[in-house]
Amino acid sequence: MSDEAPERAQPEDGSQALPEQHPVKRTPARRSIMETVWTVVIALALALLIRQFVVESFVVQGVSMLPNLQNGEHLLVNKFIYDLHPPRIGNVIVFLPPPAAHTNQDFIKRVIAVPGDTVAVRHGQVYVNGRLQPHPYLPSSYLGGPAFPQETVPPGYVFVLGDNRKVSDDSRYFGFVPIRNIRGQAEFAWWPPQVVGSIS
């Protein structure tokens, strides 16, 4: 048996041959860990983007939206819809109330009047632009609460009421809500199971 080292191919130009390269191979376990880490990072990034700009979950606290929304319901709130169009009468919105509410807690109420509308509440009935407003979503037993003298909703604001008019802390107390304070429109109830469905 020959003791000579095995021959290596020499470049034709006579230059020194480079040593053979031995690439490092990733083991299946290492590759799996890296893929898992990247998957988690991407999922977290997407979740943060969705929560910041698209949709967020809110929990109803209190009884001011009875009988349509129950205390403890979990809702999905569309956060970009008012980038597409302004708030509309009947929309259920989540918002930061104006300073007169003396709280930094988000509220959930229904839009009753929009910029340019005149609005008044008399004897538990709501009048927008001089017309009595129907409330098919609200039994008469939930009407009531304080009156509100006729005013015109200024540009950039909305007038809101809770569905449970007798106990709701709303625009009758703290005035018009700046549209810029609106977090989004409540569109879907997802918990508990018996209330799952769209919000109207």
Measured distance CA(135)–CA(143) in Å, rounded: 10
Of 64, 79, 168, 171, which residue is the catalytic one?
A: 64
Of 79, 109, 168, 171, which residue is the catalytic one?
A: 109
User: Which residue in the block uniquely carries the two structure tokens 């967020």?
Assistant: 56
User: Which residue in the block uniquely carries the two structure tokens 């509309």?
Assistant: 88
Measured distance CA(24)–CA(29) in Å, rounded: 14
Residue 138, C-beta contacts closer than 8 angstroms, at least 6 positions apart: 67, 68, 163, 165
CB atoms within 10 A of CB 185: 21
- Altogether, the residues listed in the chain come to a count of 200
Q: Is 79 a catalytic residue?
A: no
Q: Is 136 left (phi over 0), alpha (psi -120 to 50) or beta?
A: alpha
- Residue 114, strand partner residues: none
What angle (nearest 5°) sits at the alpha carbon of residue 185, between those of residues 181 and 189? 135
Q: Is 109 a catalytic residue?
A: yes
Catalytic residues: 64, 109
